[in-house]
């Protein structure tokens, strides 16, 4: 989920950064006429010196859209925009992404369309993987800390797989073997929720290629149940 404004980090390079006298980028100005409401939305929240929406702008954007800034739909938006940097939307990303979504009118009204888009089976796994990558804020970072993972799990899978997520989150917080989660483990959490019957765990076989953390999780659940 997008960070709060206080976690300001260096912004990614802006691809369209020719500034005119009024501080707005040239291409922006040119496109204002042609594009619709979405562009205006972008311009409302853009950080003019950066030429892109920054964390503060995103918070404001959320208010505009009538969603909490922790809402999963902002993450979905980031995914659709293929946002490269957590907390920032470049103009390129904005325009390309929303065009692909086929959104022209008020973004607020189009949020359900966004949700449907994400939930398409062909997209969902991509979105899910993206959610993890979105949290890799440092340059060579490959893993995410347990607490953030728990929040992310709740955000992304909490509705569809409520019980599994509740149990898994509880486990992640009490176990000591792992302090961070990597991409491989992350993707297997989804697979686990989709494939394994819960809470009976009947079809889970530790002899298969499940990551060890899930073997341990299953053992923990089974012990609790007995």
Partner 1 sequence: MGGSLYQRIEKECEEHISAALRSLVGQSPDLVVFLSLVEKCWQDLCDQMLMIRGIALFLDRTYVKQNSNVRSLWDMGLQLFRKHLSLAPEVEHKTVTGLLRMIESERLGEAVDRTLLNHLLKMFTALGIYSESFEKPFLECTSEFYAAEGMKYMQQSDVPDYLKHVEMRLHEENERCFLYLDAITRKPLIATAERQLLESHIPAILDKGFMTLMDGHRIEDLQRMYSLFSRASLDSVLEESFSKNEAFCNTIKDSFEHLINLRQNRPAELIAKFLDEKLRAGNKGISEEELEGTLDKVLVLFRFIQGKDVFEAFYKKDLAKRLLLGKSASIDAEKSMISKLKTECGSQFTNKLEGMFKDIELSKEINESFKQSSQARMKLPSGIEMSVHVLTTGYWPTYPPMDVRLPHELNVYQDIFKEFYLSKYSGRRLMWQNSLGHCVLKADFPKGKKELAVSLFQTVVLMLFNDAQKLSFLDIKDSTGIEDKELRRTLQSLACGKVRVLQKFPKGRDVEDDDSFIFNEGFTAPLYRIKVNAIQMKETVEENTSTTERVFQDRQYQVDAAIVRIMKTRKVLSHTLLITELFQQLKFPIKPADLKKRIESLIDREYLERDKNNPQIYNYLA
Note the residues at the interface with partner 1 (CB under 8 A). 142, 182, 184, 188, 191, 206-209, 211-212, 215
Q: Shortest Cβ distance from residue 149 to partner 1 (Å)?
A: 16
Q: Tell me the CA distances in angstroms from 114 to 79, 99, 156, 188, one per residue in order.
A: 10, 12, 14, 25
Q: Shortest Cβ distance from residue 142 to partner 1 (Å)?
A: 7
Nearer to partner 1, 18 or 206 (CB): 206
Nearer to partner 1, 79 or 210 (CB): 210
Contact status, residue 16 vs residue 51, Cβ threshold 8 Å = yes
Nearest to 73 by CA among 113, 104, 101: 113
Q: Shortest Cβ distance from residue 217 to partner 1 (Å)?
A: 13
> In whole angstroms, what is the distance from residue 180 CA to residue 148 CA?
9
Nearer to partner 1, 175 or 182 (CB): 182
Q: Shortest Cβ distance from residue 186 to partner 1 (Å)?
A: 12
Nearer to partner 1, 153 or 213 (CB): 213
Contact status, residue 1 vs residue 151, Cβ threshold 8 Å = yes
The pair of structure tokens assigned to 98 is 């929303």
């Amino acid at each position: 989920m997008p960070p709060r404004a206080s976690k300001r980090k260096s912004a990614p390079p802006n691809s369209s950064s020719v500034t005119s006298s009024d501080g707005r980028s040239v291409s922006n100005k040119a496109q204002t006429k042609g594009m619709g409401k979405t562009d205006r939305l972008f311009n409302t929240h853009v950080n003019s010196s950066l030429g892109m929406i920054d964390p503060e702008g995103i918070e404001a954007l959320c208010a505009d859209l009538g969603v909490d800034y922790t809402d999963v739909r902002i993450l979905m938006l980031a995914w659709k925009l293929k946002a490269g940097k957590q907390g920032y939307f470049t103009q390129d990303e904005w325009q390309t992404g929303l065009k692909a979504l086929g959104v022209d009118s008020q973004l607020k009204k189009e949020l359900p369309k966004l949700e449907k888009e994400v939930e398409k089976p062909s997209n969902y796994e991509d979105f899910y993987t993206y959610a993890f990558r979105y949290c890799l804020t440092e340059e060579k970072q490959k893993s995410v800390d347990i607490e953030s993972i728990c929040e992310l799990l709740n955000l992304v899978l909490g509705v569809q797989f409520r019980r599994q997520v509740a149990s898994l989150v509880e486990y992640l917080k009490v176990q000591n073997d792992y302090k961070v989660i990597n991409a491989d483990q992350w993707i297997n959490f989804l697979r686990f929720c989709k494939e394994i019957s819960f809470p009976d765990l009947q079809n889970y076989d530790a002899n298969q290629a499940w990551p060890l953390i899930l073997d341990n999780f299953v053992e923990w659940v089974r012990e609790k149940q007995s």
